Structure 1
Amino acid sequence: MSDAAPTPAPAPAAPPRVDCVADSAGGITFDIVVLDTAEPVLVLRRRGGSGGTADETRLPLTPAGEGHMRAVLPNTMELAEGRWDVFLDERAVEPGVRDLRALVDRVPDEEGGVAVRVPYPTADGRLAVRSWVRLPHAEAGDIVLGEGVCTVEGTLYGAETAAGAVAEVRRGGTVHRVPAGGEKGGFAFTVAYDALAEPPVAAEQLWELWLRPDASSEPVRVSRVLDDVWDRKNVFVYPAHQGEGYRAAPCYTTDNDLCVRITP
């Protein structure tokens, strides 16, 4: 019997690292150090999709200078709303340098709405792309806090407010409507917390905010997506109002949709 120690298994190779640059029109350029790859293609796969062709986007890698290859996601290529994980030969990739400067304070040119793509690191350290497609789109701006109320101001893309414009505050099948106004592409409305916090408030309630631009229009979700923040939930935190048996504050979801949170 040999006393030789067993040969240790080779350490798993580190995931490929990808740098990316986002442009203001919605395109993304991916750069990667050349690796031994059977198929020079970068793959974006939509999380939670059915696995069909609509849930996968394949971007060819081409030489881009010494030791690097490049893939381009053009702004003209459709990318459904959701979270898209990035792969190379079925291997998840790690985020390298992410240049998102062009996304800050972005003003879209789209007349019908907006399409936004933000590369970001996932919780487990992989690279993904968050995509929003909003047609039309109600971009939340300043949120002004008052005594028992919050006023939401913003910009509407792909539509205009007109007679009969209202904001809808929704939770399940319950809808509260408040007047909305605005001019030159803007909108504003005020939400009173007491109207939402019908006693007793026994558990957390999350009320979604929607804008109906006029009496005949479909409602538009109020969100904030025109910058480089892919998840506002724990970044934008607003002071809470203490009401009779409840606390209330505006908040964002992980999808950057604006809500009002009511808690006991």
Structure 2
Amino acid sequence: MTGTTGSTHLADPRADCVADAAGGVTFDIAGHDSGGAAEPVLVLSRRGAAPADEVRLPLTPAGEGRVRAVLPSTVELAEGHWDVSVAGRPVRPGVRDVRALVDRRPDRSRPVGARVPYPAADGHLAVRAWLRPRHAEAGDLTFGGGGCTVEGLLYGAELGEGAVAEARWGREVRQAPVEGGEDGAFAFTLPYGPLAEPRPDGQRLWQLWLRPAAGAEPVRVARLLDDVWDRRNVFVYPESEGDGFRAAPCYSADNELCVRVGPVA
């Protein structure tokens, strides 16, 4: 690629990404011509934000014709999908090293932040970000007895007297007791039968929440602390059939845990 004096030229930008366990992301971009006078930047733009929400990161030489931008863990990203561009051009994804995101255990005293670089549906690079002051991280799910047991870790809150899990569908709420363990560990068993009363004639999607103690504000149960930006078609759980209904856990587009209940065909 060639550059023109006084301008910055970037053709077909492609970025390799490395995500670290602290929440930082490094972008290495090939094909940059550093002959321009203007300081180049990588821009993260939150999709659908009004007014526009942007984070601008300086690009610095990284050798072998590459430039680098670093998103530090200390820079907050609001929840959502952030599109990546350079010089007004969207960036294509290259190699994504996200191994450090698997089985993260962040500091429980701080807000939970998660950033996962991923290839968007249009083929360009984006970053999925979450930022939650309180978070109930879903772990293993087990099945039996016409229900499911959810284990996880609670961040930003402490389990206390009267802790319950809540399944919510519209104004309907069903509760199940929560057992606590060390370092924020929790577990609850949710039977499907009460979620199917009255018998469904269409699909119901029950959202799962954890109320840490009686009178405390509930916390959404989700799975954010790994390298999966959209779990809907990745984590598929077995269906259980009851009296006139079928039920199974599932994840939403925001990686939040739900239970899907519908009639038997």
TM-score greater than 0.5 by the shorter chain: yes
Q: What is the Cα deviation at residue 81 of structure 1?
A: 0.8
1:59 aligns with 2:57: yes
Q: What is the Cα deviation at residue 39 of structure 1?
A: 5.2
Rounded Cα–Cα distance in structure 2 between residues aligned with 1:105 and 1:142: 12
Q: Among 134, 149, 170, which residue is 2:132 paired with?
A: 134
- Counterpart amino acid of 1:77? V
Quote the residue 1:219 is aligned against. Answer: 218
Quote the residue 1:191 is aligned against. Answer: 190
Q: What is the Cα deviation at residue 147 of structure 1?
A: 2.1
Q: List structure 1 runs of 4+ shifted beyond 6 angstroms.
A: none
User: Matches of residues 59-78 of structure 1 in structure 2 within 5 Å?
Assistant: 59-78=57-76
Q: What is the Cα deviation at residue 14 of structure 1?
A: 6.5
Quote the residue 1:31 is aligned against. Answer: 28
- CA offsets 1:91-114 (integer angstroms, 9 cap, x no match): 111100100011111111251331
- From the two aligned structures, give the one with the greater strand fraction: 2
- Counterpart amino acid of 1:45? S
**Does the CA contact (< 8 Å) of 1:112 and 1:159 recur in 2?**
no
**Sequence identity (%):** 65
Q: TM-score normalized by structure 1?
A: 0.91
- Counterpart amino acid of 1:128? A
1:254 aligns with 2:214: no
Rounded Cα–Cα distance in structure 2 between residues aligned with 1:81 and 1:209: 19
- CA offsets 1:198-221 (integer angstroms, 9 cap, x no match): 233111110000001111321100
- CA offsets 1:227-248 (integer angstroms, 9 cap, x no match): 1111111111011001111100
Rounded Cα–Cα distance in structure 2 between residues aligned with 1:34 and 1:64: 12
Quote the residue 2:79 is aligned against. Answer: 81
- Counterpart amino acid of 1:198? E
- CA offsets 1:55-79 (integer angstroms, 9 cap, x no match): 1101110111120100000000010
- Counterpart amino acid of 1:32? I
Quote the residue 2:172 is aligned against. Answer: 174
- Counterpart amino acid of 1:73? L
Rounded Cα–Cα distance in structure 2 between residues aligned with 1:87 and 1:103: 23
**Does the CA contact (< 8 Å) of 1:167 and 1:211 recur in 2?**
yes
Aligned length: 250
Rounded Cα–Cα distance in structure 2 between residues aligned with 1:41 and 1:98: 20
Q: What is the Cα deviation at residue 175 of structure 1?
A: 1.3
Quote the residue 1:104 is aligned against. Answer: 102
**Does the CA contact (< 8 Å) of 2:32 and 2:67 recur in 1?**
no
Q: What is the Cα deviation at residue 172 of structure 1?
A: 1.2
Label 1:98 to 1:88 Cα distance change in 2 as closer, same or farther (>3 A): same
Rounded Cα–Cα distance in structure 1 between residues aligned with 2:112 and 2:11: 36
RMSD: 1.5
Quote the residue 2:123 is aligned against. Answer: 125
Unmatched 5+ stretches in structure 1: 1-12
Rounded Cα–Cα distance in structure 1 between residues aligned with 2:209 and 2:179: 13
1:263 aligns with 2:262: yes
Rounded Cα–Cα distance in structure 2 between residues aligned with 1:219 and 1:133: 16
Q: TM-score normalized by structure 2?
A: 0.90
Rounded Cα–Cα distance in structure 2 between residues aligned with 1:203 and 1:39: 56
Unmatched 5+ stretches in structure 2: 1-9
